[in-house]
């Protein structure tokens, strides 16, 4: 026991763990930040509850009737459906119509009275989806056809005008919302965040750490002792991977708590995949940092490797939107491989046998880069 406590590998592990845990920034970026990100993006894209859309109505008489005003289709519609009337501090007039829908989520339409120029400014600023006016009982809708939100507002509202009955009996019965777990954005996002966390943690935690110790001449001091060189790297990587496990575990626990995310596939497969992904990135990180003692260069290298993968590997959105010719390349990125694999286990219930090949490839990537890195490694 005492012998083990005095062993260099254990003392190196302890030193690395202490260094890591005593750095508050590490805890923030490693644990708090991914959770905040999942919360932010998850709420923004998953819990599609009620939406509010703003519609400009040109002509005050279409919102309220003053003596002498002629008939108005819009006004009649709003009055018939009891759209609440509001008067702002500046005297601006608006009406509000709430359309509940428990399948697609309710919509609150806010009709604001404006002149044409103000409406155009608001439209450009993105404060409006739609501009309406009416001429002799004929309604015109003005909106940017390239803007899907505007299109949707137009389709929804014009349909509502034609079939006011929808206000009482909202979505048609043939709509069967797929809200089972696994199809929401958050289900897509969380596995990606876990993988991205592993990549970033290895890049900064392993690469940057090595480069910094080299630039401080600490590596040189260490190898001037009987320390085994491999122990140094093994300890660094062990601590990192342990940390990554805890980070991923916390993120998973949190997203289970808040979003009810579950792992549908095999848990041992997930563990295997997670470890091989970690090893792949740790190997790459060692390789990246094997030769330079300038932290600025390290910085650049890390960004050079991680930025493209963050964008292309389908962490935040599916990479299937990229041109077809690029897909075979994108699929070969380690981050893509890991994210696809982990996501498959999470939401497509991939089994153990299906992950063996990709896991083996990632392990091989890690081992090859680690070995090459160790060969080229400059200790001073």
Partner 1 sequence: MNSEAVIRVKNVHKSFKTVHAVRGIDLDIHPGQFVALLGPNGAGKTTLVEMIEGIQKPDRGEILITGKPWRGNEKELRKIIGLSLQETRFIDKLRLFETLRLFASFFGLGKERCEEVMNLVGLEEKRQAYVVNLSGGQRQRLALGVALLNKPKILLLDEPTTGLDPQARREVWMILKKLKDASSTSLILTTHYMEEAEQLCDYIVIIDHGTILKEGTLPDLLGTSSAVTKKEEYHGPPRNLDELFIELTGRHLNE
Q: Which residues bind partner 1 (CB under 8 A)?
A: 2, 5-8, 10-12, 14-15, 18-19, 22-23, 213, 216-218, 220-227, 380
Q: At what angle do helices 33-45 and 229-259 cross, to 10 degrees?
A: 30
Q: Cα–Cα distance between 312 and 327 in angstroms, integer? A: 9
Q: Token pair for residue 224?
A: 């001037």
Q: Which is nearer to partner 1, 101 or 212 (CB)?
A: 212
Nearest distance in Å: CB 84, partner 1: 60
Q: Choose between 117 and 225: whose C-beta lies nearer to partner 1.
A: 225
Q: How far is the CB of 366 from partner 1 (least distance, A)?
A: 26
CB of 205 to partner 1, least distance (A): 14
Identify whether the C-beta of residue 322 lies closer than 8 Å to the C-beta of residue 305: no
Q: Considering beta carbons, is residue 14 or 304 the nearer one to partner 1?
A: 14
Of 320 and 375, which CB lies nearer to partner 1 in the complex structure?
A: 375
Nearest to 232, CA basis, from 379, 20, 27: 379
- Tell the smallest beta-carbon distance from residue 224 to partner 1 (Å): 6
Give, as one character, the DSSP assignment of residue 178. -
Q: Which is nearer to partner 1, 142 or 220 (CB)?
A: 220
12, 377, 374: which is closest to 214 by C-alpha?
A: 377
> Whole-number minimum distance, CB 295 to partner 1, in Å?
13
Least spacing, CB of residue 244 vs partner 1, in Å: 20
Q: What is the CA radius of gyration of the chain?
A: 29
Query: Which one, 7 or 318, has the nearer CB to partner 1?
Result: 7
What does residue 235 show for φ and ψ, rounded to 5 degrees?
A: -65, -45
Sheet holding 130-135, edge to edge: 84-87, 93-99, 107-114, 51-58, 130-135, 138-142
């Amino acid at each position: 026991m005492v012998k083990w406590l005095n062993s260099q590998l254990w003392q190196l592990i302890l030193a690395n763990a202490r260094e890591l845990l005593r750095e508050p920034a590490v805890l923030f970026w490693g644990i708090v930040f991914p959770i905040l990100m999942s919360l932010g993006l998850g709420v923004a894209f998953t819990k599609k509850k009620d939406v509010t859309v703003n519609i400009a109505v040109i002509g005050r008489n279409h919102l309220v009737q003053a003596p002498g005003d002629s008939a108005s289709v819009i006004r009649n519609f709003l009055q018939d459906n009891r759209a609440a009337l509001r008067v702002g501090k500046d005297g601006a007039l608006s009406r509000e119509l709430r359309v509940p829908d428990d399948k697609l989520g309710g919509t609150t339409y806010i009709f604001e009275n404006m002149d044409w120029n103000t409406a155009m400014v608001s439209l450009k600023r993105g404060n409006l989806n739609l501009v309406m006016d009416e001429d002799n009982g004929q309604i015109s809708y003005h909106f940017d056809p390239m803007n899907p939100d505007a299109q949707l507002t137009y389709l929804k509202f014009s349909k509502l005008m034609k079939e006011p009955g929808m206000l009482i009996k909202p979505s048609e019965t043939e709509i069967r919302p797929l809200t089972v777990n696994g199809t929401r954005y958050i289900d897509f996002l969380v596995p990606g965040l876990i993988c991205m966390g592993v990549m970033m943690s290895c890049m900064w935690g392993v690469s940057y750490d090595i480069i910094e110790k080299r630039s401080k001449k600490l590596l040189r001091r260490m190898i001037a002792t009987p320390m085994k060189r491999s122990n140094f790297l093994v300890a660094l990587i062990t601590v990192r991977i342990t940390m990554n496990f805890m980070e991923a575990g916390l993120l998973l626990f949190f997203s289970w708590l808040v979003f009810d995310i579950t792992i549908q596939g095999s848990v041992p497969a997930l563990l295997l995949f997670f470890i091989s992904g970690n090893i792949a990135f740790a190997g790459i990180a060692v390789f990246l940092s094997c030769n330079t003692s300038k932290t600025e260069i390290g910085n650049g290298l890390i960004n050079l490797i991680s930025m493209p993968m963050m964008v292309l590997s389908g962490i935040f959105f599916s990479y299937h939107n990229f041109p077809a010719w690029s897909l075979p390349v994108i699929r070969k990125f380690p981050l893509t491989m890991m994210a696809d694999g982990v996501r498959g286990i999470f939401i497509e219930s991939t089994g153990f046998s299906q992950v063996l090949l990709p896991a083996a490839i990632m392990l091989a990537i890690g081992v090859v880069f680690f070995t090459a890195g160790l060969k080229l490694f400059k200790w001073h």
